[in-house]
């Protein structure tokens, strides 16, 4: 099947397109749609606006994951500090 130049997100056709398959935003797209992009399907593109939004979404996911990890570490460290009793003198 021929490779259609259609945005998988908004279905736009007459704008600059970027390849989703194999890009840094493929995982974000697949998580958002709960669909895997495979090579047999014809549309592997996102228009420049949707591709940028997928990039921003990926940045947000990364930011949230980092914050979650830091909060977990702080919680663990806080628990460790609050569970230690001062030694009597």
Residue 7 annotated in ligand binding: yes
In angstroms, the CA 56 to CA 74 distance is: 27
- The string of pLDDT tens digits covering residues 26-63 is 999 999 999 888 876 678 999 999 999 999 999 999 99
Question: Nearest-CA neighbor of 20 among 84, 42, 1?
Answer: 42
Domain residue limits, the chain: 17-77
Residue 10 annotated in ligand binding: yes
Q: How confident is the model at residue 1 (pLDDT cuts 50, 70, 90)?
A: very low
Predicted TM-score of the model (pTM): 0.76
In the block, residue with structure tokens 């996102």? 46
End-to-end CA distance of the chain: 80
Distances (CA, A) of 69 to 8, 27, 32, 72, 76: 32, 20, 22, 5, 11
């Amino acid at each position: 099947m021929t490779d259609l130049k259609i945005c998988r997100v908004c279905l736009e056709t007459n704008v600059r397109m970027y390849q989703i398959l194999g890009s840094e935003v493929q995982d974000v797209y697949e998580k958002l749609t709960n669909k895997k992009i495979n090579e047999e399907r014809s549309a592997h593109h996102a228009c420049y606006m949707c591709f940028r939004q997928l990039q921003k979404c990926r940045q947000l996911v990364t930011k949230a994951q980092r914050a979650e990890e830091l909060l977990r570490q702080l919680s663990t460290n806080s628990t460790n500090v609050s569970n230690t009793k001062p030694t009597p003198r």
